[in-house]
Structure 1
Amino acid sequence: MRFGIRFRRVALGLACTLIALFPPATSVAHAWEPPSGDLPSRYLTRVESRYVETDLARFHYTVSGSGSPVVLIAGGGLWGYSWREVAPTLAQQHTVYAVDLPSQGYTELHRADFAYDLPAMATAIATFLDAIGVGRTTLVGHSWGGAWSLYFAEEHPERVVRLVLLDSPGLDAEKAPITPVFKTPVVGELATELTDRSFYTDSIRGTFAHKELVTDELIDELYPPFSRPANRNGFLALWRNLDYRLTDAGLSRVSAPTLVLWGGDDQWLPSSQAAQLAGRMPNAEAVVLPGCGHTVHEDCPAATIPRITAFLN
């Protein structure tokens, strides 16, 4: 958890400094405009990028392959680009959708009253599935995306064929060490607003065991969508509103066969949670991959992707 501790100290230090210099800190947070990334996505020129319009949102997603449906849901602060190595392999036998949910990527939310909690994110998943005409599907979710997928599987077991959770919170247990930063009024706003490209890069690097994989190209794809004000606001709201007591209480309702994959060197959530999470579900197995970080499918694709493929096939 070393990175999380460092992030918390830096964020708190920045927040305290700004509060001391500018007593009306809330107005400072709203007046300061974070630098936005304006690089167009090269990745989207190489894949089939689509939008589907609903009353809730204009969902952005990519689609590839043919066969039984698989929906990929990225973690917090990420988007469908996170699945760039997973999707092509799964698409050999499945129709693969990588969707951006509210607060992610290029999806545009229409509802100002969207709650950014587990029920709301599960509703977003259902809305997207209905919009593309998918009744039952396999869900593969990473981190927060896994928590949203897990809650959806608890509430709608009839719609989930299989479930894959990658380093996903779901237990009412130890949280990511930076959680108090974002939950603290004013401090959370400042930490979110002050996350420029450099700070964002440090954050992403902290989710990898293989730091060399966090390249300029990767940040060129990930940072521009995160820099959008609506996505930043949603990101902060999710930190404050996700209540894992809900997923913890419903674990026994997950009827779908489930694979829980975890990076053994995850610095955000302890890998011991993998076995605890799987042990609470009726038909789940846990696999911990040594030497891999929190973003396990990007950090260790050669170890992660075959596990997912074998489980789905």
Structure 2
Amino acid sequence: MKQWRNYLAGLLSALMLSGCALGISEIPLAELEQKYATGASRFIDIDGLRVHYRDEGEGQPIVLLHGILTSLHTWDGWVHELKSDYRVISLDIPAFGLTGPANFEYNRDHYTRFIHHFTQAIGLERFVLAGNSLGGYFAWNYAIEYPEQVQKLVLIDAAGFKQKVPLPMWAFTAPVIGTITMHFTPRFASTILLRQVYAQPERINDALVDHYYDMQLRPGNRKAAQSLFRYANAQSVQDAPGKERISMPTLLMWGEQDRWIPMSHFERWRQALPHAQSVTYPDAGHMPMEEIPVKSARDLKRFLEGRPIPPK
């Protein structure tokens, strides 16, 4: 009975995400750039792909990789807290944000190569690398491929172990539902998404929902996300290899109310990386850097400065 109840609940949510209610098909890229490519936004050509990024502050470089169905805006709170002391680089990774669809096959090796070409293009030799969720997966894989570049590694609710696929990743790739999702996505789908990844619903406001919604409607993003999710879904059926090769100082950060990658994964990361420092947040979900940016950024500063992080 429980299995069927979960199935029906998932199906209902998936139908809502699919846009069975009327939704906007796409938002022109020029309109999105006029609205969101402001202030510190820059664009750079990486192997023929026009990449949106921001490079703010001075000092030790920190490169930030976001997770699924979001963009560099997820780091805005951290950038505000860190840019007075550090050079903070955030980017829309291919398939998301204003960068949009990649011109390569969606897999770990190609994303690793893309990140390498990006960091080389903006002149980085050694830097701190931080990633959340799927961005965390790319971050730690980059760290084992280019250990001479990654001075310190920060993994925030990072993927890396066998797990159940989060609902949006399933909905985007499911037969029929996935096809419909490519054409119509209602705004309330972004509200559902945020309620899944935030621990405290009162932290979600209309501007945040609009941002998530608008970025999904960038031409090509939903199709690109579908391709990436197919790869990620296939990888999620087993533990990803290579973690024993992570040698640089590492910080594990986790929201205790994460519904997508739960605390059991945090414990597995601690076992895999006994040298790592760690901190968890009782009042945060899947994206503590977005949901509680001040608190989590201050803990990051302590780690970077070699100071202990007090227990929460």
Give the TM-score of the pair, scaled to structure 1: 0.84
Alignment counterpart, residue 148 of structure 1, candidates 100, 113, 138: 138
Cα deviation, residue 172, structure 1: 2.6
In the aligned structure 1, how far is the partner of 2:277 from the partner of 2:239?
17
* 1:97 corresponding residue in structure 2: 89
Which 10-residue stretch deviates more, 69-78 or 175-184?
175-184
Unaligned runs of 5+ in 2: 1-5, 306-312
Name the SS for the 2:154 alignment partner: strand
Q: How does 1:1-313 map onto structure 2 within 5 Å?
A: 8-13=10-15, 34-36=25-27, 38=31, 44-45=37-38, 47-109=39-101, 111=103, 114-177=104-167, 179-242=169-232, 243-244=235-236, 248-281=240-273, 283-313=275-305
- CA distance, structure 2, for counterparts of residue 16 and residue 143 of structure 1: 23
Q: Is the 8 A contact 2:32 2:218 kept in 1?
A: no
Cα 1:99–1:178 change in 2 (3 A) is closer
**More deviation, 102-111/117-126:** 102-111
What secondary structure sits across from 1:116 in the alignment? coil
Q: CA–CA distance in 1 between the matches of 2:198 and 2:76?
A: 16
The CA deviation at 1:183 is 3.8
Deviations 1:33-68 (A, max 9, x none): 7253856665643x3111111224111111111011
Residues 179-218 of structure 1: CA deviation (Å, up to 9, x unaligned): 4434433333334544322212221222111112211111
Give secondary structure in 1 for the equivalent of 2:283: coil
Q: What is the identity, as a one-letter code, of the residue corresponding to 2:162?
A: D
Letter in 1 for 2:213: Y
The alpha-carbon distance between structure 1 residues 305 and 80, as it changes in their structure 2 partners (threshold 3 A), is: same
- Please provide the CA RMSD for this pair: 2.8
Give, as a single letter, the amino acid of the residue that structure 2 aligns with 1:36.
I
Change (3 A) 1:224 1:15: closer
SS in 2 for 1:229: coil
2:240 partner SS: helix
Separation of aligned partners in 1, 2:175 and 2:302: 45
Query: C-alpha displacement at 1:155, in angstroms?
Result: 1.7
The amino acid that maps onto 1:145 is: G
3-state SS of 2:286 partner: coil
Partner SS state of residue 280, structure 2: strand
Tell me the CA shift for residue 117 of structure 1.
1.4
- Tell me: CA distance 1:67–1:298, structure 2 relative to 1, closer, same or farther (3 Å): same
Counterparts of 1:152 and 1:241, CA distance in 2: 17
Percent identity, aligned pairs only? 30
SS of the residue 1:262 aligns to: strand
Q: Which secondary structure does the structure 1 equivalent of 2:259 belong to?
A: coil
In structure 2, relative to structure 1, the CA distance for the partners of 1:110 and 1:305 (3 Å cut) is closer
* Contact 2:157–2:261 under 8 Å retained in 1: yes
Number of residue pairs aligned between Structure 1 and Structure 2:
294
**Residues 12-52 of structure 1: per-residue CA shift (max 9 Å, x gap):** 5569998xxxxxxxxxxxxx97253856665643x311111
Amino acid in the other structure paired with 1:241? Y
In 1: Cα distance, 2:87 partner to 2:60 partner? 6
How far, CA to CA, are the matches of 2:19 and 2:291 in structure 1? Answer: 35
Question: For the structure 1 residues 219 and 14, does the alpha-carbon distance in structure 2 shift closer, same or farther, using more than 3 Å as the test?
Answer: closer
Unaligned runs of 5+ in 1: 19-31
Superposition deviation, residue 247 in structure 1: 7.0
TM-score when scaled to structure 2?
A: 0.84
